[in-house]
Amino acid sequence: MASAQSNVRHGNCLLLLMLVVAQRALCIRIPNQISDSARHQQIIHHQPSLRTAVFALGSFWRSEAVFGCLKGVVRTTVGYAGGSKNNPVYRSLGDHAESVQVEYDPRLISFRQLLDVFWSSHDSRQVFGQGPDVGNQYRSIIFTNGTEETRLAALSKEREQARSKVSIVTTQIQSHWTFYPAEPEHQKFELKQNQFLLQLIGNLSEEELEASSLATTLNGYAAELCPPEIQKHIDAKINDIVKRGWPMLRDI
């Protein structure tokens, strides 16, 4: 009798164990299925290994597109930095400059490489504006975090100045600053002008657009500011999708 009970108990234990194993298998499978869906693949959740850099180089619509397409950049956000006004907004940004915050994976791209892109993507010698945009909000600034970044920024500025002494490099280097994200309508501005691309990635909500790594890349692509080989790669990928009639671009 005791032995039969023990067998039943063993049987129950076995059943429970099987259930636990099955559930575990399910637990593993379910997140995989979710991550297969376009949206979850695109959203980059906070990753402690990522680093953040902030630059001002003229209109932030364009600045965001300049950095978005680089390999290793996972997310960009436009905003205001470099001034003293609290909680600036577009129509009243005070002494701040239009800026872009770049989240990047330092294993794929370095602060030094971001500096190279910064210098080659605007005219650091233009006073009080950038291209057709005139005003203090379009000035050129490198925002640094820590002495090593400040050293690298200063070195790169010296190099830039050494290229020509005909005019002065106006870029400021600031080590104490606060970045204020801009209003939603200014985020991924270039991508939002392109209905075709918006549809192609599945009409993401504002929140999803802001967090999406794919939207970050396509924002640069929409402005035709990707490095040529990346631009070509995305062209080919989109052509392929259009040809096959499969409506959704999930990754690049």
* Interface residue list for ligand NAG (CB under 6 A): 52, 145-146, 199, 202-203, 247-248
Give the nearest distance from C-beta 93 to ligand NAG in angstroms. 19
Helix axes 111-120, 60-68, angle to 10 degrees: 130
Residue partners of 84: CB distance under 8 A and separation at least 6: 94, 95
Q: Which tokens go with 84?
A: 């003293």
Give the nearest distance from C-beta 52 to ligand NAG in angstroms. 4
Distances (CA, A) of 205 to 68, 81, 208, 213: 19, 26, 5, 14
In sign, the C-alpha dihedral spanning 155, 230, 206, 110 is negative
Residue with smaller CB distance to ligand NAG, 130 or 219: 219
Residue with smaller CB distance to ligand NAG, 199 or 205: 199
Residue with smaller CB distance to ligand NAG, 135 or 247: 247
Q: Which tokens go with 42?
A: 């695109």
Residue with smaller CB distance to ligand NAG, 74 or 225: 74
Residue with smaller CB distance to ligand NAG, 113 or 145: 145
- DSSP-assigned states of every residue in 37-77: SHHHHHB----TT-EEEEEEES-HHHHHHHHHTSTTEEEEE
Residue with smaller CB distance to ligand NAG, 38 or 230: 38
E-strand stretches of 94-162: 97-104, 129-130, 133-134, 140-143
Give the nearest distance from C-beta 46 to ligand NAG in angstroms. 12
Measured in degrees and rounded to the nearest 5, phi and psi for residue 80 equal -120, 135
Give the nearest distance from C-beta 51 to ligand NAG in angstroms. 7
Give the nearest distance from C-beta 76 to ligand NAG in angstroms. 14
Give the nearest distance from C-beta 202 to ligand NAG in angstroms. 4
